[in-house]
Homo-oligomer: A and B are copies of this chain.
């Protein structure tokens, strides 16, 4: 019985190796290549470990870390939906929900349901933990764009107003102090371009 359970767990751990091949829009900071979703998930978990003191409300950093480790696994089936890609939020949510059922369904019960519930909590973004996790998931790519001198904003011709509206509400809701700092960086980043138009 225990071995049948272990077999399912190893099938899941084997399947999620594929997250290392899901390529995101954001580059590494040295711009040598695009980031993949597995290493992005590691980096985000480190963000949660380091920055939990900036959460808006009281959070359990370990639950936030668990959420962030899991949050992109659905991309194995549906790929990464870029923030500046203009895809339908409804269609994306439906595809990701099916992927979550299939992937977490590889695990034995009750473990599979526990992971699914945690992933759904992240997606709903109603609890303090989930709001903070979502804020970090916006904060990390924003930082990459700042540090990499524009990154996906330059590539996609994104404006100051679009950056403020696409990143701002989510970061501000989960980590207001981090948003205060972001606002300064973003405004500085767009300042020369704004002045020249």
For A32, the closest partner residue in chain B by CB is: B21
Tell me, yes or no, whether A113 is within 8 Å of chain B by CB. Answer: no
Tell me, yes or no, whether A143 is within 8 Å of chain B by CB. Answer: yes
Q: Per a CB cutoff under 8 Å, which of B29, B45, B50 touches A12?
A: B50
Tell me, yes or no, whether A16 is within 8 Å of chain B by CB. Answer: yes
Which of A18, A41, A51, A107 counts the most B-chain CB atoms under 10 A from its CB?
A41
Decide if B43 touches A13 in the complex (CB within 8 Å).
yes
Decide if A20 touches B49 in the complex (CB within 8 Å).
no
Q: Which of A2-39 contact B (CB under 8 A)?
A: 2-3, 6, 9-10, 12-14, 16-21, 28-30, 32, 35-36, 38-39
Residues of B within 8 A of A42 (CB): 19, 38-39, 41-42, 45, 69
Chain B proximity of A147: nearest CB distance (Å): 6
Given known contacts A18-B30, A21-B30, A28-B17, A66 and B38 CB-to-CB distance under 8 angstroms? no
Which of A16, A42, A43, A69 counts the most B-chain CB atoms under 10 A from its CB?
A42
Given known contacts A20-B28, A21-B28, A42-B45, A9 and B147 CB-to-CB distance under 8 angstroms? no
| Contact size range, A | 35 or more
Decide if B46 touches A13 in the complex (CB within 8 Å).
yes
Q: Per a CB cutoff under 8 Å, which of B19, B50, B66, B181 touches A13?
A: B50
Given known contacts A49-B66, A50-B9, A16 and B28 CB-to-CB distance under 8 angstroms? no
Q: Which 9 A/B pairs are nearest by Cβ-Cβ distance?
A: A42-B42, A62-B62, A38-B39, A17-B29, A39-B39, A20-B39, A38-B42, A41-B42, A9-B50
Binding site for B on A (CB under 8 A): 2-3, 6, 9-10, 12-14, 16-21, 28-30, 32, 35-36, 38-39, 41-43, 45-47, 49-51, 54, 62, 65-66, 69-70, 107, 111, 143, 147, 177-178, 181
